[in-house]
């Protein structure tokens, strides 16, 4: 077995940390992941399990880095699905391609820069499904769809995907340690504590750290640009056959089937600077009201309504200025920050993790080969 290139310690086991761990470990690094929450855990401090999630880019041409990350992830996920289709022995990632509809209740001003990068992109005319039937069901005094496009998009069975990433990282010899790092005495102290924790478990000295702590970075490295964007969702019985997202004048709505689970996530809220994990019953009602209009086929309950499994909130790791993916030297330690992916952590994940890998390897260039482990 070839000698690992270096020991990299990733802090965080959300989609950002685990994807980074997979890319680092598969590139030949010895990787340790330390996280307060790992796949299977449920906490408001751990965003990744609360996501929908699907590929629906929020990036704009003003942020070419995020556009590129999203395109890379789309292509990578399609590749994962193609490989799974060819080899039934491969572990299933929990991804699936669906027809995805995007509706606007107003003329679209944004640039749909991503159209050439997705499969089967098409603009719908108002007599085409599902544009026509939704507008027919809509009351005359309510907002109607004015623009609709369709394309093929990937939905993610989030709990399954996180376990899949963790398993892939472990197969490449990554060690995952569940531990909370202290935040009160600053990042340098937290890095020292992380290294000590890893060495207590028989790991070697750390050559480079990756900080993938999501919203936790606000405390871990005192980043005041971080803020939560709360999203409330309703998990219902029945797996929708298509994805939709809808932008209304004063609301957002989406429906994301959770592949292979027999359930669907309904949502659409974005509340800036709200930290509470308690769902708001009025918001639940609004989510179900929009879903009833857009996806009535899921109303299979005995009373003709949705069969609600659970209602929950997650906090997207928002950051003024966009995600922070860059190298910093902290008291002589090399750190690659990778946090603040807001509402796009899944669709950013592959492009962001590849950049993290590149930055880690760049940061190692100044380390003599004999001192990298
Ligand atoms: C309702 C909702 C819907 C969403 N839908 C989508 C979607 O459709 N598509 C999409 O791309 N994205 C979506 N997102 C956004 C996506 O979920 C996030 O961008 C992503 O999960 C962030 O992942 P992360 O790994 O950066 O952070 P997290 O998942 O929060 O992981 C942070 C990790 O750091 C660890 N950590 C933090 N502090 C410490 C500490 N002091 N010591 C040790 N460990 C620590 C935590 O334990 C955890 O393991 C959605 C989010 C929400 C809430």
Is 80 exceeded by the pLDDT of residue 89?
A: yes
Is 70 exceeded by the pLDDT of residue 75?
A: yes
- Residue range 95-154+226-319, CATH number: 3.30.9.10
Of all protein residues, the one whose alpha carbon is nearest to atom 22 of ligand 1 is: 345
Can you tell me the distance from the alpha carbon of 165 to that of 173, in angstroms, rounded to the nearest whole number? 13
Quote the percentage of the chain above a pLDDT of 70: 100
Looking at the structure, give the CATH architecture of the domain made up of residues 7-53+160-225+321-371. 3-Layer(aba) Sandwich (3.40)
Asked if residue 343 belongs to a known ligand binding site, the reply is: yes
Q: What is the DSSP letter of 110?
A: S
Average pLDDT value for residue range 110-127: 96
- Residue 63 has a CB neighbour count (10 Å cut-off) of 14
Can you tell me the distance from the alpha carbon of 317 to that of 46, in angstroms, rounded to the nearest whole number? 10
pLDDT-derived band at 1, boundaries 50, 70, 90: low
Can you tell me the distance from the alpha carbon of 234 to that of 59, in angstroms, rounded to the nearest whole number? 25
Give the SS3 label for residue 54. strand
Q: Give the pLDDT score at 53.
A: 96
Query: In sequence order, what DSSP letters do the residues of 23-47 get, joined into one string?
Result: HHHHTT-EEEEEESS-TT---TT--
Average pLDDT value for residue range 276-303: 96
Closest atom, ligand 1, to C-alpha of 220: 41
Angstrom distances, CA of residue 55 to CA of 11, 143, 320, 371: 25, 25, 22, 40
Is 90 exceeded by the pLDDT of residue 35?
A: yes
Per-residue pLDDT tens digits for 199-247? 999 999 999 999 999 999 999 999 999 999 999 999 999 999 999 999 9
CA terminus-to-terminus distance, the chain: 15
Domain boundaries, the chain: 7-53+160-225+321-371, 95-154+226-319
CA angle 146, 152, 153 (to 5 degrees): 95
Can you tell me the distance from the alpha carbon of 23 to that of 351, in angstroms, rounded to the nearest whole number? 11
Can you tell me the distance from the alpha carbon of 252 to that of 266, in angstroms, rounded to the nearest whole number? 11
The set of protein residues with a Cβ atom below 6 angstroms from ligand 1 is 11-17, 35-37, 46-48, 50-54, 180-181, 183, 212-216, 220, 231, 233, 267, 314, 316-317, 339, 341-347
- Give me the helices (H) in the chain, please: 15-26, 64-86, 131-137, 158-171, 186-200, 217-220, 281-294, 345-364
Q: Which helix (H) or strand (E) holds 329?
A: strand 324-330
Closest atom, ligand 1, to C-alpha of 338: 26
Average pLDDT value for residue range 289-297: 94
Cα within 13 Å of Cα(191), Cβ side: 25
Can you tell me the distance from the alpha carbon of 5 to that of 65, in angstroms, rounded to the nearest whole number? 27
Average pLDDT in the chain? 96
Per-residue pLDDT tens digits for 139-150? 887 889 999 999
CA angle 41, 47, 52 (to 5 degrees): 100
- Out of 35, 77, 231, 338, mutate this one to test ligand 1's pocket (max ligand atoms within 8 Å of CB): namely 35
| CB-neighbour burial class of residue 243 (10 A; exposed 0-12, middle 13-18, buried 19+) | buried
Top-confidence residue, 311 or 372: 311
Of all protein residues, the one whose alpha carbon is nearest to atom 25 of ligand 1 is: 14
- Residue 272 has a CB neighbour count (10 Å cut-off) of 10
Can you tell me the distance from the alpha carbon of 75 to that of 96, in angstroms, rounded to the nearest whole number? 13
Is 90 exceeded by the pLDDT of residue 351?
A: yes
Per-residue pLDDT tens digits for 90-101? 999 999 999 999
Tracing tokens 């509470």 back to the chain, one arrives at 276
Per-residue pLDDT tens digits for 165-181? 999 999 999 999 999 99
Per-residue pLDDT tens digits for 44-62? 999 999 999 999 999 999 9
Average pLDDT value for residue range 120-128: 96
In this structure, is the dihedral angle defined by the CA atoms of residues 359, 360, 361 and 367, taken in order, positive or negative?
positive
Ligand 1 centroid from CA 38, angstroms: 11
Average pLDDT value for residue range 110-119: 96
């Amino acid at each position: 077995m070839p000698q690992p290139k270096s020991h990299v310690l990733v802090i965080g086991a959300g989609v950002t940390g685990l994807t980074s761990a997979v890319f680092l470990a598969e590139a030949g690094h010895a990787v340790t992941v330390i996280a307060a929450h790992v796949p299977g855990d449920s906490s408001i401090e751990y965003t990744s399990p609360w996501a929908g999630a699907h590929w629906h880019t929020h990036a704009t041409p003003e942020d070419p880095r995020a556009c590129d990350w999203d395109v890379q992830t789309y292509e990578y996920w399609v590749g994962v699905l193609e490989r799974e289709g060819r080899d039934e022995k491969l572990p299933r990632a929990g991804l699936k391609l669906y027809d995805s509809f995007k509706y606007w209740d107003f003329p679209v001003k944004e640039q749909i820069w991503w159209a050439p990068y997705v499969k089967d992109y098409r603009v719908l005319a108002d007599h085409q499904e599902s544009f026509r039937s939704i507008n027919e069901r809509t009351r005359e005094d309510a907002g109607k769809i004015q623009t609709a496009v369709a394309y093929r998009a990937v939905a993610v069975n989030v709990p399954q995907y996180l376990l899949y990433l963790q398993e892939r990282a472990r197969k490449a010899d990554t060690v995952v340690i569940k531990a909370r790092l202290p935040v009160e005495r600053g990042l340098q102290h937290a890095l020292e504590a992380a290294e000590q924790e890893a060495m207590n478990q028989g790991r070697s000295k750390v050559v480079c750290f990756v900080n993938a702590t999501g919203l936790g970075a606000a405390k871990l490295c005192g980043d005041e640009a971080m803020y939560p964007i709360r999203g409330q969702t309703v998990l219902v019985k029945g797996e929708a056959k298509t994805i939709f997202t809808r932008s209304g004048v004063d609301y957002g709505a989406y429906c994301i089937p959770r592949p292979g689970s027999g359930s669907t996530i309904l949502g659409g809220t974005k509340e800036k600077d709200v930290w509470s994990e308690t769902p708001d019953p009025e918001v639940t009602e609004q989510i179900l009201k929009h879903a009833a209009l857009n996806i009535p086929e899921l109303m299979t309950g005995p009373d003709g309504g949705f069969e609600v499994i659970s209602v929950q909130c997650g906090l997207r790791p928002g950051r003024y200025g966009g995600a922070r993916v860059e190298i910093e030297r902290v008291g002589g330690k090399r750190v690659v920050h990778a946090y603040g992916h807001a509402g796009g952590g899944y669709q950013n994940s592959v492009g962001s993790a590849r950049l993290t890998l590149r930055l880690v390897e760049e940061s190692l260039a100044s380390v003599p080969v004999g001192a990298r482990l």
